């Protein structure tokens, strides 16, 4: 196994359990616009917001833009902090940092929200770069985000880079960017999903993730 020195972390479902806030804001938006709730609403947790409204709710591009505006109006004030840090995350990040690893964030959540969340939960201190989507909807796909964050961090050699996330989008994005991916089972994805999309490593707990990265 490679020695990983640069670690790209997803946020939702990887560092924090953000489902309560995401789902409450999603439901608020659908009620406001008169759309029915999709089956298995947990599917909206993880993918880019623009994609979720289009794919799971059948909205056209104009409706998607309005839905995102309504969603974010509630999320910025309330949904943002309907959220909690997973057990073991601060300890994992501390161990990785103390062992000389470089930690970065690559999330499809708007960057301004990601910064506020990480600062609120006192996790921002661990990360050299906090990279997220642009509020206007650009830089929305995971591969774009990974490239954006690696560029900001000045990373050119990808042999020791590892993407750490909890959904297929993290795996797909990592592969497009020629970096390996660790999939975490404490988030919103499943072992079946991770196997289907070819995760390089699958872990059950934050401590297991730290052990594998520190002692490859």
Q: Let me know: does 51 contact 70? Beta carbons within 8 Å.
A: no
CA angle centred on 9, ends 23 and 19, rounded to 5°: 10
User: How far are the Cα atoms of 116, 126, 133 from residue 111, in angstroms, in the given order?
Assistant: 9, 16, 6
Residue with tokens 């999903």: 193
With residue 37 as reference, give the H or E element that holds it: none
Dihedral pair phi/psi, residue 200, rounded to 5°: -75, -35
- Catalytic status, residue 166: no
User: How far are the Cα atoms of 67, 69, 196, 215 from residue 164, in angstroms, in the given order?
Assistant: 29, 29, 17, 16
Q: Let me know: does 15 contact 127? Beta carbons within 8 Å.
A: no
Distance CA 30, CA 58 (A): 12
List 10, 12, 17, 166, catalytic entry: 10
List residues with catalytic annotation.
10
């Amino acid at each position: 196994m490679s020695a990983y020195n640069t670690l790209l972390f997803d946020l939702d479902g990887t560092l924090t359990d953000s489902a309560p806030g995401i789902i409450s804001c999603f439901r608020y938006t659908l009620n406001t616009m008169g759309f029915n709730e999709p089956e298995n609403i947990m599917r909206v947790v993880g993918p880019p917001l623009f994609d979720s409204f289009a794919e799971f709710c059948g909205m056209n591009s104009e409706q998607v833009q309005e839905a995102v505006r309504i969603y974010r109006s509630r999320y910025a004030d309330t949904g943002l902090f309907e959220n909690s840090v997973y057990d073991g995350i601060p300890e994992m990040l501390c161990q990785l940092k103390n062992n000389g690893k470089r930690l970065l964030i690559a999330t499809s959540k708007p960057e301004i929200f990601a910064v506020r969340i990480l600062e609120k939960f006192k996790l921002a201190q661990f990360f050299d770069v906090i990279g997220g989507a642009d509020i206007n909807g650009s830089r929305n796909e995971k591969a774009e985000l990974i490239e954006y964050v690696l560029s900001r961090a000045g990373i050119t050699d990808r042999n020791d880079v590892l993407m750490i996330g909890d959904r297929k989008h993290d795996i797909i994005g990592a592969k497009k960017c020629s970096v390996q991916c660790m999939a975490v089972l404490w988030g919103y994805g499943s072992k079946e999903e991770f196997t289907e999309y070819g995760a390089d490593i699958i872990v059950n707990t934050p401590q297991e993730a730290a052990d594998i990265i520190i002692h490859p």
